[in-house]
């Protein structure tokens, strides 16, 4: 059988412009130097085991070239970056209306796991990039897709058949996920949850526990940047209209309550996770980063610093066009 994942991502077969190479290499050192300023997530005990000084950076260019630095192959849990995949799946299987009749598209301005506005301001979660919104979105899928279906979709989007469920993270997530349990039951109490709470939550925890690398995220970023088609294989993986929606929500909500500042300073659609991952869909390139030392918002401190440098030096801000 032909291997769908058989793409030329192993080595830099195609030369990358020397300026791009220099800027990425500077960004790597800037990022690595900042890891000591943050802390690894500890509220999910298994995440606390990560090496706080780790930092990996992978850039996949639409021309087929790539750059890699540091811990770019290290496996870590995808956490909230999976919210992008969950949204892509919902748009694919439920459609635009079938998704946004059940979840809003507004930045919340609150922490990723906040319950505040869900209880006081609206019956529907603010957007699919925060916990309440992703849990609600996954409830739209829980009765039509299995975890294996979502795992295959994740592998396809990340061009990485090595993605598996990290059982230890999943167990840890399950044992410490009381706030997410509160969210799912709050959604149920409001009559908006679209599947059974346990089933919904189990799928959400499993999707957060997928083990990826900076390289997997670079591939995801490249496909999103390229309008949903893999520029290397030519294969369409996400409908282009859905990509516009995904990019918009990544831009406005992808960095939690730091999304506005990240939008101004870096200006590319991005999504972070408390495992230290960051996916960026920059013009002409996908960038995947891994640095488990986090800032107070839950974003990788090294990844944000590195992206500020890359965007400024290469003029990647989407509103510079
Ligand atoms: N699994 C994490 C949680 O539900 C995901 C949060 C994140 O990465 N921000 O709390």
Q: Is the CB of 274 under 6 A from ligand 1?
A: yes
Provide the pLDDT for residue 12.
Answer: 46
CATH of 7-77+211-320, one of 3.20.20.80, 3.40.710.10, 3.40.50.1820, 3.40.50.2000: 3.40.710.10
Q: How confident is the model at residue 14 (pLDDT cuts 50, 70, 90)?
A: confident
Of 38, 26, 21, 112, the residue nearest 308 (C-alpha): 26
Name the least confident of 114-123, 253-262, 265-274. 114-123
pLDDT surpassing 60 at residue 8: no
Q: How confident is the model at residue 70 (pLDDT cuts 50, 70, 90)?
A: very high
Give the dihedral of Cα atoms 65, 71, 74, 80; nearest 10 deg. Answer: -80
Residue pair 2/52 in contact by the 8 Å Cβ criterion: no
Beta strands in 117-230 (DSSP E): 164-165, 210-212
| pLDDT above 70 coverage of the chain, percent | 96
Burial class (CB in 10 A: 0-12, 13-18, 19+), 302: buried
Between 84 and 122, whose confidence is greater? 84
Provide the pLDDT for residue 13.
Answer: 56
Closest ligand 1 atom to 112 CA? 9
CATH of 80-208, one of 3.40.50.300, 3.40.710.10, 3.40.220.10, 3.40.640.10: 3.40.710.10
Distance CA 200, CA 138 (A): 6
Q: C-alpha distances in angstroms, 25 versus 59, 61, 313? A: 11, 15, 12
Q: Ligand 1 centre and the CA of 217: distance in Å?
A: 17
Mean of the per-residue pLDDT values for the chain? 94
**How do residues 127-180 score in pLDDT, each as one tens digit?**
999 999 999 999 999 999 999 999 999 999 999 999 999 999 999 999 999 999
Q: Ligand 1 centre and the CA of 286: distance in Å?
A: 23
Task: Count, in order, helices (H) and strands (E) of the chain.
Answer: 12, 8
Q: Is the CB of 299 under 6 A from ligand 1?
A: no
pLDDT surpassing 70 at residue 9: no
Q: What sign does the CA torsion over 240, 245, 246, 251 have?
A: positive
pLDDT surpassing 80 at residue 5: no
Distance CA 253, CA 300 (A): 16
Provide the pLDDT for residue 3.
Answer: 38
Six-digit token string for 38: 């943050």
CATH fold match for the domains 7-77+211-320 and 80-208? yes
204 is catalytic: yes
Q: What integer is the mean pLDDT of 271-291?
A: 98
83 is catalytic: yes
Q: Is the CB of 68 under 6 A from ligand 1?
A: no
Per-domain residue ranges of the chain: 7-77+211-320, 80-208
Provide the pLDDT for residue 121.
Answer: 80
Of 183, 172, 54, 51, the residue nearest 112 (C-alpha): 183
Q: What integer is the mean pLDDT of 33-43?
A: 94
Q: Is the CB of 208 under 6 A from ligand 1?
A: yes
274 is catalytic: yes
| pLDDT above 90 coverage of the chain, percent | 88
Provide the pLDDT for residue 11.
Answer: 44
């Amino acid at each position: 059988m032909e291997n769908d994942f058989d793409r030329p991502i192993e080595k830099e077969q195609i030369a990358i412009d020397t300026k791009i190479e220099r800027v990425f290499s500077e960004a790597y050192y800037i990022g690595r130097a900042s890891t000591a300023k943050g802390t690894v997530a500890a509220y999910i005990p298994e995440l606390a085991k990560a090496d706080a000084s780790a930092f990996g950076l992978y850039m996949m260019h639409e021309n087929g070239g790539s750059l890699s630095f540091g811990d770019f192959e290290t496996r870590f849990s995808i956490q909230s970056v999976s919210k992008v995949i969950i949204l892509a799946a919902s748009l694919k299987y439920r459609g635009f209306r079938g998704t946004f009749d059940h979840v809003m598209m507004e930045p919340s301005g609150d922490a990723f796991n906040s319950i505040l506005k869900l209880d006081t301001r609206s019956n529907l979660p603010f957007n699919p990039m925060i916990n309440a919104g992703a849990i609600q979105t996954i409830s739209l899928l829980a009765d039509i897709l299995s975890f294996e279906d979502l795992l295959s979709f994740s592998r396809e989007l990340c061009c990485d058949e090595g993605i598996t469920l990290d059982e230890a993270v999943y167990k840890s997530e399950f044992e410490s996920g009381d706030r997410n349990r509160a969210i799912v039951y709050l959604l149920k109490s409001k009559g908006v949850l679209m599947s059974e709470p346990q089933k919904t939550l189990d799928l959400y925890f499993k999707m957060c526990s997928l083990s990826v690398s900076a390289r997997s995220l670079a591939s995801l970023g490249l496909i999103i940047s390229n309008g949903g088609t893999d520029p290397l294989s030519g294969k369409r993986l996400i409908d282009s209209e859905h990509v516009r929606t995904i990019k918009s929500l990544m831009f406005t909500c992808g960095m939690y309550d730091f999304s506005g500042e990240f939008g101004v300073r870096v200006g590319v659609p991005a999504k972070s996770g408390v495992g230290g991952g960051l996916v960026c869909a920059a013009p002409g390139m996908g960038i995947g980063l891994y640095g488990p030392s986090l800032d107070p918002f839950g974003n990788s401190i090294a990844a944000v610093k590195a992206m500020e440098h890359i965007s400024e030096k290469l003029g990647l801000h989407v509103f510079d066009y």
